[in-house]
């Protein structure tokens, strides 16, 4: 088990380095092909030679390799790795530390994630289990139809429809009924409010969770049906165990491995969804910051945040791998 974890961890570190390198290559080529991002610092103004040179130095864009199209710029990459290793993620175009930005933005993203994860996990396990248990009956058909219906609406469509069709009338109704500033009024606020993070995150979180649950419901159902068909379930019943015990210990427990895989996949999907959600709902979180950074061509911020998100994903995948081994002894002893 120890060796298994060590092997997986090393693989995770290697993956992270690879992601960072690919990211570096992409931004390098973008700079080489699209021109100097230091110009973005000046907005509409035309800088003098010396001003431009000063800004280039400050953001580490002065290396001549950025002018040579096709040069992978390994020097700046190694330099940046060294800085990251010391906890220095650089500054954004306005001179604010990237770590500082992340420290204020990450808690909101985590709150959003908590809501999202609870929603899709509870919906997925609950509805998936119910559908499997009532296979081919109307409840099963209804749940499957609902999940396909949710799948037909991508997260940005859900959010657009919610924001432009439902949020304003619901907010107006809530303010009239419960008073402005009341909790229900905050729930339906069409944009994020820093003073009430939980209340204003709730609806976007539920919508994102709903979008994530659709495929998860079907996966939970399918993997549980496979367990139901297993001989070991018949054996468990032959021992005279009541059906609830059989379902929890022999059906749900045995379908845990594919479900955990899906947890990893759904997590990364939610990460991508969070970028869109935060951007569209003006949530000040990692995704929202990234969204703004890309629009402002803020290289240091983009690299910093994507690196952190990649690290989080690698850690989640590592946890999933370890969970596999914990859940299925055949993997542990392989």
Distance from the Cα of residue 77 to its chain's centroid: 26
> Alpha carbon of 122 to those of 212, 235, 283: distances in Å?
11, 29, 24
For other proteins, which is the closer residue by CB, 201 or 252? Answer: 252
Least spacing, CB of residue 238 vs other proteins, in Å: 5
Give the distance from CA 50 to its chain's centroid: 41
At a CB cut-off of 8 Å and minimum separation 6, what does 301 contact? 92, 93, 98, 101, 289, 290, 293
- Pick the closest to residue 24 from 57, 65, 53 (CA basis): 65
Taking the complex as a whole, the smallest distance from the CB of residue 241 to other proteins amounts, in Å, to: 6
Smallest distance from the beta carbon of 27 to other proteins, in angstroms? 45
Least separation in angstroms between residue 36's CB and other proteins is 58
> Which CB sits closer to other proteins, 83 or 248?
248
Give yes or no for a contact between 188 and 170, defined as CB atoms under 8 angstroms apart. Answer: yes
Q: Taking the complex as a whole, how short is the minimal distance between the CB of residue 330 and other proteins, in angstroms?
A: 6
Give the residue with the Cβ less far from other proteins, 94 or 253: 253
**Would you tell me which residues interact with other proteins (CB under 8 A)?**
230-232, 234-245, 249-250, 253-254, 256, 327-330, 333
Task: Decide: 208 and 155 in contact? Cβ < 8 Å.
Answer: yes
Q: Which is nearer to other proteins, 3 or 244 (CB)?
A: 244
> Between the CA of residue 333 and those of 130, 281, 329, 330, what are the distances in Å?
33, 47, 6, 6
Cβ closest to other proteins, residue 226 vs residue 292 = 226
């Amino acid at each position: 088990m120890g060796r298994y974890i060590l092997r997986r961890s090393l693989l995770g570190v290697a993956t992270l380095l690879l992601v960072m390198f690919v990211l570096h290559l992409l931004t390098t080529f973008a700079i080489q092909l699209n021109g100097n991002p230091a110009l973005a610092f000046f907005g509409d103004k035309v800088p003098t030679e010396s001003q431009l040179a000063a800004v280039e130095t400050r953001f580490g864009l002065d290396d001549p390799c950025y002018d040579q199209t096709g040069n992978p710029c390994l020097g700046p990459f190694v330099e940046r790795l060294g800085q990251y290793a010391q906890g220095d993620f650089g500054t954004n175009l306005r001179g604010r530390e990237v770590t500082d930005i992340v420290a204020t933005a990450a808690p909101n993203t985590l709150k959003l994630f908590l809501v999202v994860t609870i929603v899709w996990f509870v919906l997925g396990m609950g509805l998936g289990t119910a559908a499997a248990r009532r296979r081919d009956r109307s409840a099963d058909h209804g749940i499957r139809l609902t999940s396909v219906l949710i799948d037909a609406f991508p997260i940005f469509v859900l959010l657009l429809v919610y924001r432009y069709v439902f949020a304003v009338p619901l907010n107006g109704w809530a303010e009239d009924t419960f008073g402005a500033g009341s909790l229900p009024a905050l729930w339906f606020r069409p944009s994020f409010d820093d003073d009430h993070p939980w209340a204003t995150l709730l609806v976007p979180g539920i919508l994102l969770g709903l979008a994530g649950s659709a495929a998860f419901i079907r996966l939970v159902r399918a993997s549980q049906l496979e367990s139901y068909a297993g001989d070991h379930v018949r054996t468990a019943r032959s021992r005279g165990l009541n059906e609830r015990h059989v379902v929890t210990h022999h059906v749900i427990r045995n379908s845990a491995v594919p479900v955990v895989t899906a947890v990893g996949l759904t997590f990364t999907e939610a990460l991508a969804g969070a970028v869109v959600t935060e951007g569209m709902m003006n949530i000040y979180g990692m995704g929202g910051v990234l969204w703004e950074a890309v629009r402002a061509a803020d290289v240091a911020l983009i690299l910093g945040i994507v690196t952190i998100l990649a690290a989080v994903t690698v850690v989640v995948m590592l946890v999933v791998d370890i969970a596999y081994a914990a859940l299925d002894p055949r993997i542990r002893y392989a």
